[in-house]
Amino acid sequence: MRTLKTLAASAVLAIAGASGAAQAAEPDKLFVSLTSADDHTQFMSMVLANQTMRQGQEIRVLLCGPAATMATEDFDGPTMEPAGRNAQQLLMNLINNGATVETCAIFLPNTDYTEADLLDGITPADPEEVGAYMADPSVRFFSN
């Protein structure tokens, strides 16, 4: 009987410890994967990433497909109100405040763009590195 009580007490402590460990590993990073060509979607994704950064989260942005043009001088997104800015300007704010911004690995080899066409602070992604980042339990995901 005493062994059963000891096992039960140990199980309760183990569960409580696991619960505390899970709470300690709350996500503190945001991974934004943006592929949409829609102006409103691009802009709002950047608004939310900036707001999340202001709340102390680490931000990493991966631009793929039509959204990857945000990484180049060719981006021609509209100015959105009430901010009076476009999505690329919000993206640059993220970079200027320490966010990692990358284009998907297949963007440059499958377009007429080269690495020289990317804005300062934006690089092609390394799929292995991005995959490891995504596997981190402290990372939340936001994708559009």
Domain count, the chain: 1
Residue 51 forms part of a structural domain: yes
The predicted model scores a pTM of 0.82
Residue 21 forms part of a structural domain: no
Say if residue 103 is exposed, middle or buried (CB neighbours under 10 Å; 0-12, 13-18, 19+). buried
Q: What is the pLDDT of residues 37-50, one digit of tens each?
A: 999 999 999 999 99
| Domain hosting residue 134, numbered range | 27-143
Q: What is the pLDDT of residues 103-131, one digit of tens each?
A: 999 999 999 999 999 999 999 999 999 99
Q: What 3-state class would DSSP assign to 125? A: coil
Side by side, which strands form the sheet with 100-103?
A: 122-124, 100-103, 58-63, 29-34, 139-143
**Quick one: how far is CA 85 from the chain centroid?**
21
Residue 6 forms part of a structural domain: no
Contact of 33 with 130, CB cutoff 8 Å: no
* Model confidence band, residue 73 (pLDDT cutoffs 50, 70, 90): very high
| Bond into 124 cis (ω within 30) | no
Query: Which distant-in-sequence residues (6+ apart) come within 8 Å of 120 by Cβ?
Result: 95
